[in-house]
Amino acid sequence: MEENYRFERYRNLKRDAREGININPIQTGGRLTEAAKKALLEYGDGYSVCDYCEGNLFEIRKPDIKTFREDLARFVGADEVVFTHGAREAIYLVLSSILKKGDSIVVDENRHYTTDLAVEKCGLNKILVKNSGYPEFKIKVEDYIPAIEKYKPKAILLTYPDGEFGNLPDAKKLGKIAKEYGIPFIVNGAYSIGRMPVNMKELGADFIIGSGHKSMASSGPIGILGISARFEEKILQPSKTVKNKFCSILGCTVRGVPIITLMASFPEVVKRVSGWEEEVKKARYFCEKFEEMGNGKIRLLGEKPHNHDLMKFETPLFFEISKKHPYGREFLYRILKKHGIFGIKHGITKYLKISTYGLSYDEIDYVLSVFEKIIKGEV
């Protein structure tokens, strides 16, 4: 067939951003470790994870998913960990397991959009705790109290940190509030687990959610859901019709290569979270220099000083340049790419989301120097 000839192009998929410096917050924490790259090829074939399966993915001994699951649970301070197809699927699994249609849930205004989708899919009544607005957009966890008293929610959820500003609200305090009112407390840690130390029990949460591809040096898609023992039966509902299978998760979830990369990267991930303070320092360093060169026209949004590598800047300076630049609003993306810097959204100039996670100071200085040259019109 002539058509088949056209398909040939799928054989050679190349990613131009593979080399170079990536500053995209959704990608900096998901880059594979060397161990994970090796594991990818080792377990790339479909269903190879299941070589020694005896009916339950979570119990497989080779590769040792069973022990890994225990290690991971300890790592996030949970009693059990459930592997899901991603953080959003973990949120949905919790909401659909412990809430009923029409129930209320209180969530932070800075939540990820998939929280809204999960809430909508479950038919829940969503109550928003507002942030403090421009420029810091902070969530004050005390603001959950009036919402709890008014709406009697069946769960509360906090995004820790959020993916828009990288703000870290006082999750521990909210944990105490949740306990006081006896309400299940869900922490969405897609941008924290695997980057910074987080412990479900210390936060007083009943559920903690992480993302392998966002923050745990793993191929996507994979999420982890840490739970406290009392919710185990609700989340992993045994099927009434099929022996030894969980109904809520349709038997098994991540039966493939993402779980292998999560596992292979785990030793490195455990190590790297202990270097979190240094990551925060680097982010603040970048922020300071970047704002400086903007001369009032580059400004960090979100908490200041910032406590996370995920940063959002308002950058009227770049918007002004774009209006005169021969590349138009593509100038920033295109020039950065030419200099081996990836992760700025194509066509975006008014706001930039940048992460310095895992970069060296040399790399940060290089990124800053390219931005400076762009501002000065030298490149």
Residues 328-357 that bind a copy of itself (CB under 8 A): 342, 346
Measured from the CB atom, is 92 or 141 closer to a copy of itself?
A: 92
Closest by CA to 379, choosing from 332, 346, 345, is 332
> Taking a C-beta distance cutoff of 8 angstroms, is the pair 220, 230 a contact?
no
Contact flags string 263-292 toward a copy of itself, x per CB under 8 A: xx-xxx-xx---------------------
One of 190, 260, 321, 359 touching a copy of itself (CB under 8 A) = 260
Element (H, E) at 290: helix 276-294
Question: Using CA atoms, how far apart are residues 224 and 207, in angstroms rounded to an integer?
Answer: 10
Among 20, 251, 316, 340, binds a copy of itself (CB under 8 A): 251
With b for 16 or more beta-carbon neighbours within 10 A and e for fewer, the 299-332 pattern comes to bbbbbeebbbbbbbbbbebbbebbeebeeebbbb
Using the rule CB under 8 A, give the single segment among 67-75, 169-177, 179-187, 298-306 that binds a copy of itself: 67-75
Closest separation between CB of residue 260 and a copy of itself, Å? 6
Q: What would the two tokens of residue 156 be?
A: 């509360």
Cβ contacts of 154 within 8 Å, gap of 6 or more: 98, 99, 100, 103, 104, 105, 183, 184
Q: Report how far residue 330's alpha carbon sits from residue 139's, in angstroms, rounded to the nearest whole number.
A: 34
Long-range pairs, 273-276, Cβ under 8 A, ≥24: 273/194, 273/195, 273/196, 273/197, 274/197, 276/195, 276/196, 276/197
What's the 3-state SS for 306-365? CCCCEEEEECHHHHHHHHHCCCHHHHHHHHHHHCCEECCCCCCCCEEEEECCCCCHHHHH
Nearer to a copy of itself, 18 or 376 (CB): 18
Nearer to a copy of itself, 228 or 253 (CB): 253
Nearer Cβ to a copy of itself, position 116 or 292? Answer: 116
List the end-to-end C-alpha distance of the chain, in Å, as a whole number: 48
Binding of a copy of itself at residue 45 (CB under 8 A)? yes
Among the candidate windows 148-156, 249-257, 289-297, 355-363, which touches a copy of itself by CB under 8 A? 249-257
Q: Give the integer Cα–Cα distance in Å for 336 and 349.
A: 12
Q: Which is nearer to a copy of itself, 179 or 345 (CB)?
A: 345
Under the binding rule (CB under 8 A), the answer on residue 18 touching a copy of itself is yes
- Is 4 among the residues that bind a copy of itself (CB under 8 A)? yes
Nearer to a copy of itself, 141 or 147 (CB): 147
13 touching a copy of itself, by CB under 8 A: yes
Give how far Cα 169 sits from Cα of 8, 161, 165, Å: 50, 7, 11
Q: Is 358 in the site for a copy of itself (CB under 8 A)?
A: no
334-364 burial code (b ≥16 CB/10 A, e <16): ebbbebebbbbeeebbeebbbbbbbbeeeeb
Does position 68 interact with a copy of itself (CB under 8 A)? The reply is yes
- Selected from 66, 172, 201, 245, the binder of a copy of itself by CB under 8 A is 245
Interface mask toward a copy of itself for 84-123; x: CB under 8 A = -xx-xx--x--------------------xx-xxxxxx--
In angstroms, what is the minimal distance from the CB of 276 to a copy of itself? Answer: 15
Other Cβ atoms within 10 Å of 100 Cβ, number = 11
The residue within the footprint of a copy of itself, chosen from 2, 10, 182, 324 (CB under 8 A), is: 10
What is the closest distance, in whole angstroms, from the C-beta atom of residue 32 to a copy of itself in the complex?
5
Tell me: does residue 63 bind a copy of itself (CB under 8 A): yes
In whole angstroms, give the CA distance from residue 302 to residue 310.
Answer: 10
CB closer to a copy of itself out of 153 and 163: 163
Q: Which of residues 137-176 bind a copy of itself (CB under 8 A)?
A: none
Which of 82, 107, 148, 257 is in the footprint of a copy of itself by CB under 8 A? 257
Residue with tokens 């300076």: 317
Name which of 64 and 292 has its Cβ closer to a copy of itself.
Answer: 64
Selected range binding a copy of itself among 33-41, 149-157, 284-292, 368-376, rule: CB under 8 A? 33-41
Binding to a copy of itself (CB under 8 A): which residues in 174-213?
A: 211-213
